[in-house]
Structure 1
């Protein structure tokens, strides 16, 4: 089995991985890299799409699906597999992050989407592709690819210790591609949620919490200590996520449903509210938060950023200017989570995606079989990785 590392290795963003065995070849995710430009914005395909039999999308965040229109513009005409939730969310992601001309010519191809449920095993030629709930977003999955001789498990984005979502166990494999977004960060999601709750309690008379529309938004709602508002455009999506009980931990759906019913709706023309306000997206690059972050910065309205801040993004600039605070809400594995995933997968050879090389070195101290040398653009084989 051969792997082409097309994005997200030695870097954060444009996550994409091709898996080949014999004449069979599939693509796992096709993301963009926020903050980059030109060719570095897209996966490093660097050639013809001939031979790619199918695309499998783990979830609809921009760093996993944002290059879909670009891929179609380059001639990809094969099937596209994703869950119903990813299908429903992807058009908005492309509207925010795809090249406008690519999107005009190659809009989201609803008629070509082949749906599956988390837990299904899919087929593409001789490849069997197992799926499982990721714990990251409703409808998000990991993939485990087996050609009958060897197997590769690609975590995509996972959260093994989420306070909201369920993650299924990743199976034993020969090579594990871990979500290494946080390196060896030892602080648990529960501890971070408490820090966020305490910050919000200190700013309960009004503050802005930029958040992705899916995933972290539910984590934040669960952590908020009192009344809050949401941008009105988020409500229908949040209601659908809360209603997906199979993706949520027992009892969480009802808790979030009650909290969402009590949440106030806020619109762009309204004054900033005297309570915490959730607005998408989390970086200020798109959506309501792209308008709200400058407004909050100019008026001194408190801002708490809780996720990845690409260099030069509006959130990054506001934080560096001292006009926004930052506390990570873990929506990727912390140290104990990744070690547990690796041990339950049989302690296989491992790669880390969505992580800078220095953080990979820290993680390797705890996962000895983790390679720190793999980078976007490289081609490797599973036996070679297993020996390193």
Structure 2
């Protein structure tokens, strides 16, 4: 098997890779790169897309599905595999991040989607695609692709030590493509959640917490120390996520349901509340937070950013100007989590995606088989024969 690294290697964003096995070729994710423009906004998929047999989407965040309309505009006509939750969330992601003309001409293709459940094993030609829960969002998955001789496991975005979501163990493989978003950051999710809780407690007059609609929002709700508000447009999605009990750790669904039931619904017409206010998205690029960040800044309303901030994004500009704080809420693996994933996968050769090059170098001292020189645009061979 060969892998084409189409995005997310030596960079954060436009996550995408193709698995090639003779006449079989499948695409895993098709994301965009926030903050980029032109060709760099999209996966490095040069030439025709006619040889792609199937697309498998891990989850509905923009850096994994945001280029779907672009892919369709280039002539992709094959099946699109995703979970129910990813299908339900992806249209809003495309509306926010696709090129408007692409989205107008190629809206989300509901009739082309083939639904699977996390844990299902799928087929495309001579390739077998195993799936498992990612721990990152409801309906999010990792993929392990096998041709009978070798296996490559692509984690997509995972959270092995989430306090909310379940992550299934990635199987033994010959090549592990893992989520290196945080490099060798050793600080646990528990410690970060405590830091966020303490920050919120120091701002009893209210504060704004921009957050992705899926995934991190539930992690924040679990971490908040007291009453809070949500943008009213988030409630339906949050209720659906909390109701997906198979994706959540035991007992978490009921805890989150009680917390959400007591949350105050806030709308754009309301004054800023004397409560922590959750509003999507996490970068201020789209959704309610794109309107709320400048409003909070003008009013001197405290802002806490808790995730990735692409250079030049509204959240990044506010933080760099010293008018917002930042504490990472881990929604990707920290160091101990990635070492554990690698060890359970049989200590295979490894690539890190969604990570800057200097952070990859830091990781290699902990994961010796990590290939730090691989970059978007390259083709590599999957080793054979060591999987169990």
Normalised by the length of structure 2, the TM-score is 0.99
Secondary structure of 2:13 counterpart: coil
Deviation at 1:204, TM superposition (A): 2.4
CA distance in 1, matches of 2:123, 2:190: 37
Deviates more, 1:258-267 or 1:199-208: 199-208
1:377 maps to: 377
1:195 maps to: 195
1:181 maps to: 181
Kindly provide the CA deviation profile for residues 229-285 of structure 1, in whole angstroms up to 9, marking residues without a partner as x: 000000000000000000000000000000000000000010000000000000000
Deviation at 1:50, TM superposition (A): 2.0
2:229 maps to: 229
2:238 maps to: 238
CA distance in 1, matches of 2:208, 2:238: 18
Kindly provide the CA deviation profile for residues 98-124 of structure 1, in whole angstroms up to 9, marking residues without a partner as x: 000000000000011000000000000
1:97 maps to: 97
2:347 maps to: 347
CA distance in 1, matches of 2:62, 2:51: 25
Aligned runs of 1:328-367 on 2, under 5 Å?
328-367=328-367
CA distance in 2, matches of 1:326, 1:219: 16
CA distance in 2, matches of 1:22, 1:42: 25
CA distance in 2, matches of 1:24, 1:175: 18
Kindly provide the CA deviation profile for residues 21-69 of structure 1, in whole angstroms up to 9, marking residues without a partner as x: 1100000000000000000000000111121000000000000000000
Normalised by the length of structure 1, the TM-score is 0.99
Secondary structure of 2:383 counterpart: helix
Aligned runs of 1:25-104 on 2, under 5 Å?
25-104=25-104
Secondary structure of 2:204 counterpart: coil
CA distance in 1, matches of 2:191, 2:47: 45
Secondary structure of 1:18 counterpart: strand
Kindly provide the CA deviation profile for residues 296-341 of structure 1, in whole angstroms up to 9, marking residues without a partner as x: 1111100000000000000000001110000000000000000000
CA distance in 1, matches of 2:377, 2:137: 28
2:166 maps to: 166
CA distance in 1, matches of 2:374, 2:286: 31
| 1:303 matches 2:308 | no
Kindly provide the CA deviation profile for residues 60-111 of structure 1, in whole angstroms up to 9, marking residues without a partner as x: 0000000000000000000000000000000000000000000000000001
